[in-house]
Amino acid sequence: MSALRFAAIGLNHDHVYGQVNVMLRAGAELVSFQAIEDDLARTFKERFPQAERADDRRRILEDPSIQLVVSAAISDERAGVAIDAMRHGKDVMLDKPGMVTLEQLAEVRKVQAETRRIVSILYSEHFETASTVKAGELVKAGAIGKVIHTTGLGPHRLRKPTRPDWFFDRPRYGGIIADIAAHQCEQFLFFTNSLEAEVLSATVANRANPDTPGLQDYGDIHLRTPTATGYIRVDWFTPDGLPTWGDGRLFIVGTEGTIELRKYIDIAGRQDKDHLFIVDRSGVRHIDCCHVELPYGRQLAADIRDRTETAMGQEHCFKAMELALKAQALAEISSSSQTQK
C-alpha cells in the first residue's frame, strides 16, 4: 500500500512542525509546502529537506496525488486554506484555532458537508499529550465513574519580543479564548462524552500589556452539558522562572474518583512531563505516561484511507471551535459592557 502524500500550506505558527511530524510518524510522505515568507520557508526546508517549495499554492491544490493539506497559516487565513483544499478534493488538518469567527466556522462546515472531506484540527494539548491520551483510556474504562466536571488550565509564556505583529491583532489571531481555550473546550467535550454544551459565562481582559491593546492576556469560561460542568482558565502569565512554556493542567472529577494531569511539568519535583495522578476507592496512584502511544496520526491516516472518523469525530472537531468562538463573543460583549459603565 502506497504512503499517504501530504503538503503544508502556511507556516506562520511553529505548530506546523508538530503537525508534519504527526503524519511522518504515521508513515505519510511530505511532498511539498507553500509559504510567501522566505525566512519561514528556509527554516522549514532545513528541517524537512525532502519537501519541495511550491511557488503557488495551486501547485499543491491541483496535484491529484496529494491527499492531505496541513496548515498553520495566520489564524484568520486557516479557514480559507481549508475551504480551498476541500474544494480541490483534499482532506485537511489545521492548527488551532481552525477558525476565528462563527461565520468562518459556518462556511467551513458548509463546504465540508458538500465535499465530504475530512477537516481535523490538531488539538495538541489532547492528541499530542500522552497524559491526556492516558486519561482518556482510563475514563473510557470507567476508572473514575461518570465524569461530572473538568477544570482545564492553560497558562502560556508570552515571549513578546519574539512574536509576529499578527499575534497582537485581535481580528487576526481570534482572541485568547478562540486561540488557546479551544484546547480545553475540546477536552471538556471529550471527557464528558457530549456534543450538547453551552457557555454559561466567559471573560477576557488585557491585564498587564497596555502597549499591545489588541492582545488579550487573560480569559476564562464556565461550560455546561446536561450532565456535567466545566471551568477553563487561559492566560499569558507563565513566569520566566518556569523551565517550560506553561504549566498546563487538567482536573477530571468523576462519580467514583478523580484524575489530575500535570502535562508539561510537575512543579512538585518529579522529572519530565506527562504526570497523571488518579485517586479512587483503592487509594492514590501516580502514572508516568511518557511511554503511552499517541494514536492520532495513524488514526487520521486510516480515516483518510477508509473514510472513517476514528481520530476525531467531525462534529466533535467543529463543536469544540463553536464553543470557543461563542465564549469569545460572549466575553467581548461582557467586557464592552463593563467598559461603557
Residue 334 pLDDT level (bands cut at 50, 70, 90): confident
pTM of the full predicted structure?
0.96
Given a cut of 60, whether residue 283 has pLDDT beyond it is yes
As a whole number, mean pLDDT of residues 185-193 equals: 98
Nearest residue to 258 (alpha-carbon basis) of 165, 139, 103: 139
Given a cut of 60, whether residue 263 has pLDDT beyond it is yes
As a whole number, mean pLDDT of residues 270-289 equals: 95
Please provide the average confidence, as pLDDT, over all residues in the chain. Answer: 96
Sign of CA dihedral 296, 95, 197, 176: positive
Nearest residue to 77 (alpha-carbon basis) of 164, 180, 177, 171: 171
d(CA 307, CA 299): 11
Residue 296 pLDDT level (bands cut at 50, 70, 90): very high
Looking at residue 270, its pLDDT comes to 86
Query: In this structure, what is the dihedral angle of CA atoms 177, 178, 182, 188, given to the nearest 10 degrees?
Result: 50
Given a cut of 60, whether residue 177 has pLDDT beyond it is yes
pLDDT in tens, 101-132: 999 999 999 999 999 999 999 999 999 999 99
Looking at residue 176, its pLDDT comes to 98
